[in-house]
Amino acid sequence: MNLFRKLLICSLATGFTFTAASAQDTDSTGLPGDQFSLSAALDLFRKASSPEDFEKLLNTEGNDANNLDLNEDGQTDYVKVIDKKDGDVHVFVLQVAVSETEDQDIAVIEVEKTGESTAVLQIVGDEDIYGEETIVEPSEGESTSFLNTGSRYQHGPSFTESDGILVNVWLWPSVRYVYAPAYVVWHSPFRWRAHPVWWKPWRPVSHVVFYPRRGVYRPRYAVVTTRRVVRARAFYRPARVTSVTVVHRNQANVVRYRSNRSVQRTTVTGPNGHVKKTTTTVTGPRGNKVKKTKVRRNR
């Protein structure tokens, strides 16, 4: 009887482990974005003392932000940080050298100083890496926040209409650093096969292993649909860098990801003028459908 009981327990444990692993594996999009955590990158930016320090944190194995291997050499890629500045707006480009002749932007952190002691930021995942531009920002769980009436938040797959709460990131050390008068715009000096001596690449782990590691960062950050730093896109977009190799290699997965999204647009005339309503139906990896709604007023 004891032997039978032990076999039953082992069988149930194995089945549970397999089910959990399978569930995490089906959450994969098959895109490179599965291997880079936008929330983790923002958290490291929050902890960093400067853009240079941020670059070092991004490329430290134990921080669980980067698991990319875009050139498929069996080792993690080094992520460079490049600051592009326009007045009070900074765009920090997170970029990987795929080969001697090709680079690929992974994401950009957009920061804007909005007042004497206020600033906002978001991180935007590149469409070729995530299938579409994916926007993440600090959530209202932070203590330093202020109301932004009329903004729209989307937390994960669900959508909530409410007065937006923007997190004031002015007290983040890296933010204060880049708005100091003596700041020199940071442009990573590293390139293909020229890396800092302290960097030790590691073997990427599987999605099943990496996925739960990213979970610790999610409660502090939210996926949203509203761009906060409008000027950033205007001057970054013409300078955006993509790799032909990366685009071609992931083209099928990008097409598959986008084909699972059907967009329906309607225009409703209200008492205050036109209201543009966009509903996106997303078919998830398990066949579940979730509707996400955006409302834009023409003022």
Tell me the two tokens of residue 92.
């920090």
d(CA 74, CA 30): 17
Tell me the two tokens of residue 63.
């921080």
Residue 195 CB burial class (10 angstroms; 0-12, 13-18, ≥19): middle
User: How does pLDDT run along the chain (299 residues), one tens digit per residue?
Assistant: 555 555 455 554 444 443 433 334 446 889 999 999 999 999 999 999 999 999 999 999 999 999 999 999 999 999 999 999 999 999 999 999 999 999 999 999 999 999 999 999 999 999 999 999 999 999 865 445 554 544 333 333 333 333 357 899 999 999 999 999 999 999 999 999 999 999 999 999 998 999 888 777 878 899 999 999 999 999 999 999 999 999 999 999 999 998 886 544 444 444 444 444 454 555 544 455 545 544 443 33
Q: Are residues 188 and 280 in the same domain?
A: no
Q: Are residues 208 and 275 in the same domain?
A: no
Identity of the amino acid at 134? T
Range of the structural domain that residue 156 is part of: 18-243
User: Rounded to two decimals, what is the model's pTM?
Assistant: 0.76
Rounded to the nearest 10°, the torsion over CA 18, 20, 21, 26 is: 120
Report the number of distinct structural domains present in the chain: 2
Q: Are residues 154 and 264 in the same domain?
A: no
Q: Are residues 155 and 212 in the same domain?
A: yes
Q: Are residues 264 and 221 in the same domain?
A: no
Q: Are residues 56 and 194 in the same domain?
A: yes
Residue 99: inside a domain: yes
Q: Are residues 184 and 269 in the same domain?
A: no
Residue 2: inside a domain: no
Q: Are residues 100 and 201 in the same domain?
A: yes
Residue 255: inside a domain: no
Cβ atoms < 10 Å from Cβ of 68: 20
Of the candidates 172, 126, 142, 138, the one whose C-alpha atom is nearest the C-alpha of residue 33 is 126
